Chains A and B, each alone.
Chain A
Amino acid sequence: MDDVTTMSSPSSGIAESATSEVFVVELAEYSGPLDLLLTLIRDEQIDIYDIPIARIAEQFLARISSLKLDEAADYLEMAARLVRIKAQTLLPRREGEDVWDDPRAELVRRLLEYQQVREVVDVLERRSEERRGKFARAYSQQTVQIPLPGKLSLSLPELLSAVDRVLRLAKKPHIHDVVPRALDVDGAIGIVRALLAIRARAQWKDILPKKAEPWEVLSLLLALLELAKRGELRLEQPHAFAAFEITRDPSSEAA
């Protein structure tokens, strides 16, 4: 349920938003714990600057339990706050202490601030009601006319040929087959080793067979890198874009 539009169902009790990620508990009657508190204060005709905290806290707790609202953290937080203020007011005060920080002061400030918000809400409500009663020119608000389906008269062959047409259209065009071909790195290592057994140095073009397939080129490249990593040979490129030289690694030779 869209929490902004819960006004339309005042009798729904708790409006739970299952769609959004936040668990929204909103009472149709109260828009929050401060609203509930203000209602209690108004009902009891209490001076907001001198709230009998014990009584109000009790009523607040009774109200939220009777409303089965005890899951709502926001209401519980306010309940806890009230109980704490109640405890603070019960603490003995030192005699002759003139300046006493009323633990209720912060609550009163918040209530007054909230009261102010509610006054603005009244203004906004009046104005939006006034505006809702008027329409502006609207673009592209035309309702789409969906044509009523007429009676279908089709013979079986017609239907089958239609199905055939659709299936032919749905067939994917043949573009290219990719044949998986495994690289033969071990084989290429054998080739390189065999060559380096005869010659101390070689070049790329010496190892690569004429008209090599891409998989052969890749296998050779990987073989060279693998052997270089193992320390069996060295790869050197004298300058950029030059053909690189493959030399037997002197250390592996010694071994």
Chain B
Amino acid sequence: MTPLAKLLEAALFASATPVPVDSLEAIAKHAEDGETTLEAALEELRLHYDIDGHGVELVEVAGGWQILTRPEYTEAIERAQLAARPQRLSTAALETLAIIAYRQPIGRSEIEEIRGVGAGAILKSLHERGLIDITGRGEGLGRPLLYGTTPNFLEQFALRHLEELPRADELAIALRAPRQGTPPGGVPANKDNGEAPPRAD
């Protein structure tokens, strides 16, 4: 392996979370390995793991890179109680996350209007899990809290960035007619109607 690839391997090994591309670039700059670019070194490391047969792999996620164990060893690791798979989220929680991912920043009442159920308890537990965060306050009555997804959300859902989610018009059922007016008892509609592709924070 080139010196840079080895250095990156060490840096990625030392971090428990995905290392952002910015940090990797900074590391590469100080490495004084003028011959290899960051992209080439990362590709080299990825192939090294893939071809030589390793128990770990290099993945691109949440705007950075991370070394993860291969799926075939998950059971053995879990049986040995070295690590535990995170709890699965309920459908209700996933629905809430999906709405937030596409419409962020979004307030609680709008989420409730789309799902037709109260969202308070779910928002609280998603927040505790670090999947969503409060990103600001809305203009409406009472200046409601607005929620958005976190980098941890991308990491937990193996997404490189939000744009990796299917665009609204790529879904089997795209909204055909733009929504008219304000539904009874609901909040004023968000300006972008969920038809815009999701945006990064």
Seen from chain A, the residues whose Cβ lies within 8 Å of a Cβ on chain B are 2-8, 17, 20, 22, 24, 26, 31-35, 74, 77-78, 106, 109-110, 112-121, 123-125, 127-128, 130-139, 141, 143
Contact = CB atoms under 8 A, between A and B. Distances in A.
Nearest to B14: A137
B118 A22 contact: yes
A182 B118 CA distance: 59
A204 B121 CA distance: 66
A173 B51 CA distance: 71
B143 interface: no
B94 A134 contact: no
Given A5-B88, A135-B83, A136-B17, A24 B121 contact: yes
Contacts of B59: 134
Nearest to B177: A109
A252 B12 CA distance: 90
A17 B176 contact: no
5 contacts: A3-B122, A5-B88, A116-B174, A117-B99, A137-B13
A31 B92 contact: yes
Contacts of B13: 137
Contacts of A78: 116
Given A120-B98, A121-B95, A137-B15, A7 B90 contact: yes
B67 interface: yes
B166 A123 contact: yes
B131 to A, nearest CB: 9
A131 B90 contact: no
Contacts of A132: 85-86, 88
Contact of A131 (B15, B124, B157, B177): B157
Interface centre among B68, B99, B156, B158 (most CB of A within 10 A): B158
Given A114-B115, A117-B114, A3 B175 contact: no
Contacts of A5: 87-90
Interface residue range, chain B: 35 or more
Contacts of A114: 114-116
B147 interface: no
B141 interface: no
Nearest to B173: A115
B74 A134 contact: yes
A23 to B, nearest CB: 9
Contacts of B15: 137
B121 A3 contact: yes
Contact of A31 (B82, B95, B124): B95
Contacts of A117: 95, 98-99, 114-115
A107 B175 CA distance: 13
Contacts of B88: 5, 7-8, 128, 132
A102 to B, nearest CB: 12
B71 interface: yes
Contacts of A32: 92, 95, 115-117
Contact of B118 (A4, A74, A137): A74
A70 to B, nearest CB: 15
Interface centre among A24, A32, A110, A112 (most CB of B within 10 A): A32
Nearest to B67: A137
Shortest Cβ-Cβ A-B pairs, 3 listed = A120-B98, A133-B71, A134-B68
Interface in B157-176: 157-159, 165-166, 168, 171-176
Interface string B83-119: 1011111111111011101100000000000111110
Given A32-B117, A116-B171, A134-B68, A3 B89 contact: no
B108 to A, nearest CB: 12
Nearest to A74: B117
A78 B117 CA distance: 10
